[in-house]
DNA sequence: TTTGTTTAGGTCCACTTGACCATAAGTTGT
DNA sequence: ACAACTTATGGTCAAGTGGACCTAAACAAA
C-alpha cells in the first residue's frame, strides 16, 4: 500500500506539478509523482506528510492536503498488488526541492506538458494527475483554497492569477475583485500596500477564516484570451 | 484492507442507512456498516459490488456508487492494522435485505437514530456514517444524484421528498419545481401521470442525462418545519 | 507632462431565487 | 351534485448576483 502525491503550485503564472525521476525499477528514469510505501503504524496522512518532507523537502504543514482517490487496479503495478491512495497538495511557490532517496531528480513541471502524450508518466500516474487537476479546479469554485497557493501577504491580483493559472483562462479583474472582497472571511486586509514595478499599488491581504465559498465562483463565465 | 459501505435510501419519507448486526468478533452483536475484506485480484469497486450483493442481496448496478474516504488509524480495528475504504451508495427503496454470512440481521435504520449516542456503532463506523451523510447532502446541491433515490417513473413531489428527507427540512414546492424542471437534462417527461389517493395527479418523469446541477441548488434557503 | 499599466470601484441589465399567491385537478365525504 | 380537502402547477414581485463594460486612481518610466 502506497501514497502518491499530486503537489500543485503556481510558478511564473503557470500551474505546475512536482514530478520526480524514478531512481528504481520499475519505470527506472521515467517521470512520476512522488510517493512511497505506508509504514507500520502510520496513518495515511502521516505517510503523505513524511513523503512530502523526505522526497521533496517541503513542510506539509504549510500546504493544503486532502485525500483524492484510491487506485486499486490489480495490474497497475508490475511488481504485484499495490493499492495507492492519492493525495492532493496545494501550496505557494516553494524553493526547488532536493532529490530524495528514491528519486534522482525533482522538478516543477507545467501541467500542460506533464499531461501531453509524450511525457508518459510511470504507472497510472497520468490518470491520477488528471483527477487531481480536476479536483483542484473544482475546489477553486466552492472553497477558498486558492489562497493556499499564495504566499502571505498577497493581493487580489495575485489571487486572480492563481485562478487563471489553474483554470486556464482569464477572468474579469473587476468582477473577480467584487466577488472575493464581498465574500466574508475570504480576505483579511493587512492595511499595507505593495508597490510593483508597474501599475497602481495594490492592497495586501491575509487568508481569512472562511473555507467555503457561498455562493460558489463558477467556471462558466470564462473570458476570451 | 476492507471496504465498508454507507448505503442510503429514503423509505417512508425518512433517510435510512443499511446496518447489519455483527455476527463475529470483535464487536459481536453490535450494529455496523456492511463491508468485508478485499479479495486477491479484486479492484475496490468490485469488492464494493460483491459485498453489496453478498451481505444485502442488492444489485449494485442499479445504485449510485462512489468512493467516500479512506480510514487508516492504526487503532481503528482491535484485530490489528486494517485500512478501510468507505463507499457511498445511494438507491431507491429496496426490498428488505436478507442476512448474509457475517451478519445476523440487516435493517434500514433511520439516520437520526443511527447517529444517536446510544447506538454506538462498531469500529469508527459512526464517523464514517457522518462523513457519508455530509457527502450525500453536499452531492444533492451540485449533482442530480437525488434521482437515484427514486424508482422510475417518479414525480417532482417524489424528488422533493428526497431532498427534504436527506437535508432534514422542507422546501418550497413551487420554487423546487421551477428549479428542477428548468434544469436541462435533469428530468425527462414520460407523458404519463400518477393518480394518488389524494390531490391533483402529477406528471411522471424519468432520470435525464445530466449529472451536474448548474447553477447548484443550495441548502441555504431552508424553510421552517 | 505624458504615457502605460494595474488597481479600485461604479453602472447597467439579464437572470436566479426566495416569498407568496392563485388556480387546477383529482379524491372523499355529505 | 356539491363542498371540502389535498397536492400539483404556474405566476408575480422584489432582492440579490453575475457578466459586460466603463471610469478614475495611483504609481513608474519616458
pLDDT single digits (tens) B31-48: 999 999 999 999 999 999
Contacts with B, A 200-219, CB within 8 Å? 214-216, 218
pLDDT of B150 > 50? The answer is yes
Does the CB of A79 have a partner CB in chain B at under 8 Å? no
pLDDT of B93 > 90? The answer is no
Counted domains in chain A? 2
**pLDDT given for residue A225 in this prediction:** 43
**pLDDT given for residue A61 in this prediction:** 86
Collect all residues of chain A within an 8 Å Cβ-Cβ radius of residue B77.
none
Residue A213 within a domain? no
Query: Which is more confidently placed, B29 or B100?
Result: B29
Can you give the distance from the CA of residue A174 to the C1' of nucleotide C11 in angstroms?
12
**pLDDT given for residue B61 in this prediction:** 86
Give yes or no for CB of A216 within 7 Å of strand C.
no
**pLDDT band at residue B176 under the 50/70/90 scheme:** very high
Give yes or no for CB of B217 within 7 Å of strand C.
yes
Alpha-carbon distances of B224 from A14, B168, B172, rounded to whole Å: 47, 11, 10
Does the CB of B127 have a partner CB in chain A at under 8 Å? no
Residues A185, A151 within the same domain: yes
Which residue among B67, B73, B74 sits closest to A70, beta carbon to beta carbon?
B67
**pLDDT given for residue A59 in this prediction:** 83
Query: Which residue gives the smallest C-alpha to C1' distance to D24?
Result: A200
Residues B42, B10 within the same domain: yes
pLDDT of B103 > 70? The answer is no
The per-residue pLDDT of chain A, averaged, comes to 92
CA distance B160 to chain A (A): 22
**pLDDT given for residue B34 in this prediction:** 95
In 10 A of CB B101, how many CB atoms? Answer: 9
Least confident stretch, A200-214, B56-70, B123-137: B56-70
Query: Which is more confidently placed, B94 or A67?
Result: A67
Of B127, B155, B174, the residue at which a domain comes to its end is B127
**pLDDT given for residue B97 in this prediction:** 57
In 10 A of CB A58, how many CB atoms? Answer: 23
**pLDDT band at residue A53 under the 50/70/90 scheme:** confident
8 A C-beta contact, residue A89 and residue A6: yes
Residues 143-202 of A with CB under 7 A from strand D: 172, 174-175, 179, 193, 195, 197-201
**pLDDT given for residue A224 in this prediction:** 47
**pLDDT band at residue A105 under the 50/70/90 scheme:** confident
**pLDDT given for residue A102 in this prediction:** 55
**pLDDT given for residue A118 in this prediction:** 84
Residue B79 within a domain? yes
CATH number at residue B92: 3.90.79.10
**pLDDT band at residue B184 under the 50/70/90 scheme:** very high
Does the CB of B96 have a partner CB in chain A at under 8 Å? no
Q: How far is CA A183 from the centre of its chain?
A: 23
Residues A10, A43 within the same domain: yes
Can you give the distance from the CA of residue A175 to the C1' of nucleotide C14 in angstroms?
16
Q: What is the pTM of this model?
A: 0.93
pLDDT of B119 > 90? The answer is no
Burial category of B66 from C-beta neighbours within 10 Å (exposed 0-12, middle 13-18, buried 19 and up): middle
**pLDDT given for residue B99 in this prediction:** 54
Of B97, B127, B157, the residue at which a domain comes to its end is B127
Residue B225 within a domain? no
User: Which nucleotide does the CA of A215 lie closest to, via C1'?
Assistant: D17
Q: What is the pLDDT of residues A126-166, one digit of tens each?
A: 999 999 999 999 999 999 999 999 999 999 999 999 999 99
Does the CB of A83 have a partner CB in chain B at under 8 Å? yes
8 A C-beta contact, residue B91 and residue B9: yes
For A124-148, letters b (16+ CB in 10 Å) and e give bbbebbebbbebbeebbbbbbbbbb
User: Domain containing A176: what range?
Assistant: 145-207
Can you give the distance from the CA of residue B163 to the C1' of nucleotide D12 in angstroms?
26
Residues A35, A67 within the same domain: yes
Residues A106, A201 within the same domain: no
Can you give the distance from the CA of residue A63 to the C1' of nucleotide D15 in angstroms?
39
Query: Which residue gives the smallest C-alpha to C1' distance to D19?
Result: A221
**pLDDT given for residue B225 in this prediction:** 44
Which residue intervals of A150-209 are DSSP H helices? 156-167, 173-182
- The nearest alpha carbon in chain A to B84 belongs to A70
CATH number at residue B193: 1.10.10.10
Given an 8 Å threshold on Cβ–Cβ distance, is B69 in contact with A73? no
Across residues A42-48, what is the average pLDDT?
97
How many percent of chain A have pLDDT more than 90? 83
In 10 A of CB A152, how many CB atoms? Answer: 13
Collect all residues of chain B within an 8 Å Cβ-Cβ radius of residue A83.
1, 44
If you search the block for the grid coordinates 459485498, which residue do you land on? B51
pLDDT of A66 > 90? The answer is yes
Collect all residues of chain A within an 8 Å Cβ-Cβ radius of residue B128.
none
Residue A170 within a domain? yes
Residues B56, B110 within the same domain: yes
Residues A112, A151 within the same domain: no
Contacts 24+ apart (CB under 8 A), B197-202: B202/B155, B202/B156, B202/B157
Report the alpha-carbon distance of residue B86 to residue B129 in Å, rounded. Answer: 9
**pLDDT given for residue B98 in this prediction:** 61
Across residues A207-221, what is the average pLDDT?
91
Q: What is the pLDDT of residues A173-199, one digit of tens each?
A: 999 999 999 999 999 999 999 999 999
**pLDDT given for residue A55 in this prediction:** 78
Residues B70, B34 within the same domain: yes
Collect all residues of chain A within an 8 Å Cβ-Cβ radius of residue B83.
1, 44
Give yes or no for CB of B113 within 7 Å of strand D.
no
Does the CB of B69 have a partner CB in chain A at under 8 Å? yes
Given an 8 Å threshold on Cβ–Cβ distance, is B216 in contact with A216? yes
pLDDT of A104 > 70? The answer is no
Of A71, A98, A127, the residue at which a domain comes to its end is A127
**pLDDT band at residue A95 under the 50/70/90 scheme:** confident
Query: Which is more confidently placed, B215 or B102?
Result: B215
Query: Which is more confidently placed, B193 or B61?
Result: B193
Residue B17 within a domain? yes
Residues B176, B104 within the same domain: no
Residues A47, A118 within the same domain: yes
**pLDDT given for residue B113 in this prediction:** 95
**pLDDT band at residue B95 under the 50/70/90 scheme:** confident
Does the CB of B138 have a partner CB in chain A at under 8 Å? no
Amino acid at each position: 500500500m502506497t501514497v502518491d502525491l499530486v503537489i500543485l503550485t503556481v510558478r511564473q503564472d503557470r500551474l505546475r506539478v512536482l514530478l520526480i525521476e524514478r531512481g528504481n525499477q520499475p519505470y527506472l528514469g521515467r517521470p512520476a509523482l512522488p510517493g512511497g510505501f505506508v509504514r507500520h503504524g502510520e496513518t495515511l496522512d502521516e505517510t503523505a506528510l513524511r513523503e512530502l518532507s523526505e522526497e521533496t523537502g517541503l513542510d506539509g504543514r504549510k500546504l493544503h492536503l486532502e485525500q483524492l482517490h484510491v487506485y486499486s487496479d490489480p495490474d497497475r503495478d508490475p511488481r504485484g498488488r499495490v493499492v495507492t491512495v492519492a493525495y492532493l497538495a496545494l501550496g505557494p511557490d516553494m524553493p526547488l526541492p532536493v532529490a530524495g532517496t528514491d528519486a534522482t531528480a525533482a522538478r516543477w513541471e507545467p501541467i500542460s506538458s506533464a499531461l501531453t502524450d509524450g511525457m508518459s508518466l510511470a504507472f497510472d500516474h497520468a490518470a491520477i494527475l488528471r483527477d487531481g487537476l480536476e479536483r483542484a479546479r473544482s475546489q477553486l469554485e466552492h472553497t477558498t483554497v486558492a489562497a493556499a497557493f499564495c504566499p502571505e501577504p498577497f493581493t487580489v491580483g495575485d489571487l486572480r492569477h492563481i485562478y487563471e493559472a489553474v483554470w486556464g483562462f482569464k477572468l474579469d479583474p473587476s468582477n473577480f475583485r467584487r466577488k472575493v472582497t464581498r465574500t466574508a472571511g475570504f480576505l483579511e486586509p493587512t492595511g499595507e500596500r505593495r508597490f510593483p514595478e508597474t501599475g497602481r499599488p495594490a492592497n495586501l491581504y491575509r487568508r481569512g477564516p472562511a473555507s467555503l465559498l457561498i455562493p460558489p465562483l463558477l467556471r462558466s463565465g470564462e473570458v476570451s484570451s
